[in-house]
Amino acid sequence: MAEIQLKNVSKRWGAFVGVDNFNLTIADREFLVLLGPSGCGKTTTMRMIAGLEDATDGEIAIGDRVVNNLEPKDRDIAMVFQSYGLYPNMNVYDNIRFPLKVRKVDPSTHDERVMRAADMVELREFLHRKPAELSGGQRQRVALARAIVREPNVFLMDEPLSNLDAKLRVSTRAQIKNLQHELQVTTIYVTHDQIEAMTLADRVVVMQRGIIQQVGTPTDIYDKPANTFVAGFIGSPAMNLMNGTLKGGTFTGEHVEIAGLSGPDGPVTLGFRAEDAAVAQSSAEAEINAPVYTMELLGDATMITVKAGGALVSVKASKDYRIEIDETVGLHIPPEICHLFHHETGARLDA
């Protein structure tokens, strides 16, 4: 059992707060992603779980053991870093085997365990090669195999795909997802890439400035962001956010008027996703009428962006839709796709 509990965990360096009162229970065998921009505290949180950083306050438990005072080697975890950390003088086989030698695992089991780990990441034919003879994707798979061979209670992965190109990121991401399903090991994964978070996670923890902003399934966070930070961070493109005034259920702002909303009168921030809105069939159907700022061809769709209410607002149109920059376009924003947030705090207003 590798349930992980963090209770009131904080990390401070003098006056600087890296992680602030972090509370979370990570279920046994869960794939949890810590997501946020650089400097939000996600890697620090992982390093405290690993024992590479000491928590200033709070308690960290793995299974039924409080591990605050345990050395990293005694926490039964395996880490995969952004840098592969391979030994250049060893071939792939010996790199994968190395944790077994260090931990004095019965040598008679080494070969079977190394071959099983190598097969899981499709490296058997590369076992004789040195790291310098491998591509970036292959080196990352060696690092994964070296973690797998340990058979730990917990995997910790710190931005393991950051150094790979776009195509390799997609294929390696799929491999990590499949591995976690096959191994059934509690996994904590750190990333600033919201696509990685949405595709890999059972649950996502969105962080900003050391504080948890929202915890939920990818669907929860995408469909009901807790605040404007989460709304603006999750999604590709991120949620459109516009400032305006709500009065009697009608939101008004520059170039925009949307009726049929439910919320308190006064200044609010309204949000909606590009794929939920549409180019209006007529000006009478349009809630936004504004000049085109840019048009992007995405292959499966055309992204239309206008400038309205001081914000850039994007809507996805059909892949064959065409319009010129500066030409006025009408956008249809049904009230049921809209999200309302507090104008000052950014907190979600609608249920």
pLDDT tens for residues 29-86?
999 999 999 999 999 999 999 999 999 999 999 998 999 999 998 898 988 887 777 8
pLDDT of residue 282: 83
pLDDT score, position 59: 96
Q: What is the pLDDT of residue 103?
A: 85
pLDDT at 7: 97
- Residue of higher predicted confidence among 43 and 172: 43
Mean pLDDT confidence for 98-117: 89
pLDDT band at 24 (very low <50, low <70, confident <90, very high): very high
**Looking up tokens 């048009």, which residue turns up?**
295
Of the candidate ranges 84-98, 161-175, 327-341, the one whose mean pLDDT is the lowest: 161-175
* pLDDT tier, 104 (very low <50, low <70, confident <90, very high otherwise): confident
Domain 4-228: which CATH number of 3.20.20.150, 3.40.190.10, 1.10.3720.10, 3.40.50.300: 3.40.50.300
Q: What's the pLDDT at 143? A: 87
Q: How far apart are CA 104 and CA 115, in angstroms?
A: 18
Whether pLDDT at 188 is above 60? yes
Hey, where are the domains in the chain? 4-228, 237-342
pLDDT digits (tens, 9 = 90+) for 236-280: 889 999 999 999 999 999 889 999 999 999 999 999 999 999 999
Q: What is the mean pLDDT of the chain?
A: 91
Using the structure block, give the residue that is written with the tokens 């707060």: 17
* Cα distances (Å, whole numbers) of residue 4 to 12, 27, 163, 212, 220: 21, 7, 28, 17, 22
pLDDT for residue 332: 95
Q: What whole-number percentage of the chain has pLDDT above 90?
A: 67
- Residue with more model confidence, 195 or 167: 195
pLDDT value for 10? 96
User: What is the CATH architecture of 237-342?
Assistant: Beta Barrel (2.40)
For residue 183, what pLDDT band results from cuts at 50, 70 and 90? confident
Residues in contact with 296: Cβ distance below 8 Å, sequence separation at least 6, in sequence order: 302, 303, 305
Over the stretch 206-218, which tens digit does the pLDDT of each residue have?
999 999 999 999 9
pTM given for the model: 0.89
pLDDT at site 325? 94
Answer yes or no: is pLDDT of 351 > 70. no
pLDDT classification of 173: cutoffs 50, 70, 90: confident
Q: In this predicted model, which residue has the larger pLDDT, 160 or 268? A: 268
Is 80 exceeded by the pLDDT of residue 11?
A: yes
pLDDT in tens, 120-159: 888 888 999 998 898 888 888 898 888 888 888 898 998 8
Where is pLDDT greater, at 113 or 350?
113
Checking if the pLDDT of 203 tops 60, the result is: yes
Q: How far apart are CA 255 and CA 253, in angstroms?
A: 6
154-158 vs 186-191, strand pairing mode: parallel
pLDDT at residue 316, as a whole number:
95
